[in-house]
A and B are shown apart, each in its own frame.
Chain A
């Protein structure tokens, strides 16, 4: 066999084995699917069931893509947890010492971890959102409310919902690398996803910039076919700014994680 010395491929393979040989990976994915797809299904079923009696405002707010994916507002936490656990358990269990004995170059190790968890999260997220989208459209088709991927903004909305879930996973990953304690990193991830929204709203008197920087508002633009209307419209960033948000979160959290992971274990 060819032996690339502590080759990059070897480190990637090793990290991939780690990811798929613990139950928490499957447990978090199962929760993400059940909540993500399940809640979205309930949402669109209820809309389809009540469509004929719904008022005009609610009908205008209806988004066949966004509503079929609404379960991931909660399902994303399970993916964030997957990201946290991918790193925090190494430190919490002390296994990191075994890892470092095998792969002493911390920078390469961290990069391999990021790449493995990131690509895995991206793949499963896309499967989830496209699955939820097609199931949702099947339900909506009963009332001819469904849309196809070829219609304007639909493919972008669905794929960006998947990309957003992968970003949340990697924010969890970064927090796991920074905090190194599972419970602490979970709490921080939860706060970042859920509590930044009311915090930014409290600052609306001064500026809408905080609103534009929080993930729940960014996803309201990214994962929908049409931007929100009404009072919420001022809160959400432009589509371009929302892309910037995702990049910013990735850079900040993975960057801080990298800084921490290359110090002494």
Chain B
């Protein structure tokens, strides 16, 4: 079939949302969302609780009908895919199974539904470390085991597009490491991985690209380094026995200096070389000088906070503040 002969072109658009909108009564869960997800990298899908991530994924998978706009996978609506599991593997809800069925049978009916060879069942059970419990009824599975079974189901059709909604929930550290390796290796093989998560430290290790939404709207669509750099600048930690003196000197040269609780100085706006030279010139000893890259968590907090401000200001004034508008990229950077 075409699946085996398709050469995955990294960077190709494989998932696309165009003005995607979903209303539940008065609630606008997803609001005119437009983005593209590309192959060959892990795209993190971030946003606060209730931002609309799961609703967006359900619309991509043809489970919810959009109120407006459309979602395409591999250029087609999900419902029009022939044997969709061969193109798209997904994990939305690890509990979406019959508790009385054995793990092997759960994968068995899934495989049969898309005419997948029966040997795939054994292969994905092996791959997810569930071979030993293949004959057990899934109702007795722990959350982590259900999560693994859900991932096994997602991998069953050897798909080139993988959608995972909070896949590390309930996984033990070994499982977290395993799924991180899995996602990065899928991406390295040219596949598309779209993964939602609230665990920023985990996302920072896994994702290459990020799509951030808030209240159903797109807040950011950019690479991990760009997002961190633009929303949480790096600072320099300076430890000195003369903090007051050095702080004055650095401020005089345009640095922004904050005191850390332990008496150290956190400096932005000056490079570590400049700080070191200024300290030496003013006779201040320096015991530690560390450039600290900001974490995704900080960047995310700043980003979603400004998104809330942005939305509040928009609600009361007609002209959006240009400073906050610049932090939003509603069209995505590649349009």
Which residues in A have their C-beta under 8 angstroms from that of B96?
93-98
A152 at the A/B interface (Cβ < 8 Å)? Answer: no
The smallest beta-carbon distance between B117 and chain A, in angstroms, is 6
Q: Are B90 and A93 in contact (CB under 8 A)?
A: no
Bound form: Cα–Cα A45–B136 in Å: 43
Bound form: Cα–Cα A124–B231 in Å: 66
Stretch from A3-11, A162-170, A193-201 contacting the other chain: A3-11
Which residues in A have their C-beta under 8 angstroms from that of B78?
104
Chain A residue nearest to B90 (CB atoms) is: A101
Residues B48-92 near A (CB distance < 8 A): 58, 61-65, 78-79, 81-85, 88, 90, 92
Which residues in B have their C-beta under 8 angstroms from that of A99?
113
B224 at the A/B interface (Cβ < 8 Å)? Answer: no
Chain B residue nearest to A14 (CB atoms) is: B113
A46 at the A/B interface (Cβ < 8 Å)? Answer: no
Q: Are B62 and A3 in contact (CB under 8 A)?
A: no
Which residues in A have their C-beta under 8 angstroms from that of B105?
17, 21
Bound form: Cα–Cα A116–B115 in Å: 17
Bits for A137-151, please: 1 = Cβ < 8 Å to B, else 0. 000000000000000
A13 at the A/B interface (Cβ < 8 Å)? Answer: yes
The smallest beta-carbon distance between A188 and chain B, in angstroms, is 22
A60 at the A/B interface (Cβ < 8 Å)? Answer: no
Q: Are A11 and B79 in contact (CB under 8 A)?
A: no
Q: Are A104 and B81 in contact (CB under 8 A)?
A: yes
The residue that A95 contacts in the complex, of B84, B98, B102, with Cβ under 8 A, is B98
Task: Report how many residues on chain A are interfacial, defined by Cβ distance under 8 Å.
Answer: 34
Which residues in A have their C-beta under 8 angstroms from that of B85?
101-102
Whether A101 contacts B61 in the complex (CB less than 8 A), given A22-B100, A23-B100, A24-B100, comes out as: yes
Q: Give the secondary structure class of B's interface.
A: loop
Interface centre among A3, A11, A89, A99 (most CB of B within 10 A): A3
Q: Are B97 and A95 in contact (CB under 8 A)?
A: yes
Q: Are B112 and A264 in contact (CB under 8 A)?
A: no
Which residues in A have their C-beta under 8 angstroms from that of B62?
100, 104
Q: Are B101 and A22 in contact (CB under 8 A)?
A: yes
A105 at the A/B interface (Cβ < 8 Å)? Answer: yes
Bound form: Cα–Cα A89–B96 in Å: 11
A1 at the A/B interface (Cβ < 8 Å)? Answer: yes
Bound form: Cα–Cα A225–B310 in Å: 80
Bound form: Cα–Cα A18–B109 in Å: 6
Bound form: Cα–Cα A17–B99 in Å: 15
Whether A10 contacts B115 in the complex (CB less than 8 A), given A100-B63, A101-B63, A104-B78, comes out as: yes
Bits for A55-81, please: 1 = Cβ < 8 Å to B, else 0. 000000000000000000000000000
Q: Are B98 and A22 in contact (CB under 8 A)?
A: yes
Which residues in A have their C-beta under 8 angstroms from that of B230?
none
B110 at the A/B interface (Cβ < 8 Å)? Answer: yes
Bound form: Cα–Cα A94–B109 in Å: 16
The smallest beta-carbon distance between A104 and chain B, in angstroms, is 4
The residue that B98 contacts in the complex, of A4, A7, A10, A93, with Cβ under 8 A, is A93
Chain B residue nearest to A25 (CB atoms) is: B100
Whether A17 contacts B112 in the complex (CB less than 8 A), given A5-B83, A104-B78, comes out as: yes
Bound form: Cα–Cα A5–B81 in Å: 9
Which residues in A have their C-beta under 8 angstroms from that of B65?
264
B244 at the A/B interface (Cβ < 8 Å)? Answer: no
Whether A3 contacts B84 in the complex (CB less than 8 A), given A10-B115, A104-B78, comes out as: no
Q: Are B83 and A11 in contact (CB under 8 A)?
A: no
Bound form: Cα–Cα A90–B88 in Å: 22
Bound form: Cα–Cα A18–B111 in Å: 12
Q: Are A102 and B93 in contact (CB under 8 A)?
A: no
A103 at the A/B interface (Cβ < 8 Å)? Answer: yes
The smallest beta-carbon distance between B109 and chain A, in angstroms, is 4
Bound form: Cα–Cα A100–B100 in Å: 19
Bound form: Cα–Cα A13–B111 in Å: 10
Q: Are A1 and B115 in contact (CB under 8 A)?
A: yes
Bound form: Cα–Cα A217–B19 in Å: 57
B1 at the A/B interface (Cβ < 8 Å)? Answer: yes
Bound form: Cα–Cα A23–B92 in Å: 26
Whether A102 contacts B84 in the complex (CB less than 8 A), given A1-B117, A17-B105, A17-B108, comes out as: yes
Bound form: Cα–Cα A22–B96 in Å: 15
The smallest beta-carbon distance between B266 and chain A, in angstroms, is 47
The residue that B110 contacts in the complex, of A23, A102, A264, with Cβ under 8 A, is A102
Bound form: Cα–Cα A7–B114 in Å: 8
Chain B residue nearest to A2 (CB atoms) is: B115
The residue that B95 contacts in the complex, of A94, A100, A101, with Cβ under 8 A, is A94
The smallest beta-carbon distance between A49 and chain B, in angstroms, is 42
Which residues in B have their C-beta under 8 angstroms from that of A17?
105, 108-109, 112
27 A-B pairs, CB-CB below 8 angstroms? A3-B115, A4-B115, A6-B113, A6-B115, A7-B115, A10-B113, A10-B115, A13-B112, A14-B109, A14-B112, A17-B105, A18-B98, A18-B101, A18-B109, A93-B98, A95-B98, A97-B92, A98-B110, A99-B113, A101-B88, A101-B92, A104-B79, A104-B81, A105-B79, A264-B63, A264-B65, A265-B63
Interface residues of A (CB under 8 A from B): 1, 3-7, 10-11, 13-15, 17-18, 21-24, 89-90, 93-105, 264-265
> Which 5 A-B residue pairings sit nearest by Cβ, starting from the closest?
A5-B82, A14-B113, A21-B105, A17-B109, A14-B112
* With A1-B117, A21-B105 already in contact, 15 other A-B pairs whose C-beta atoms are closer than 8 Å: A5-B115, A13-B112, A14-B112, A17-B109, A17-B112, A18-B109, A93-B98, A97-B58, A98-B110, A102-B85, A103-B113, A104-B78, A104-B79, A105-B79, A264-B64
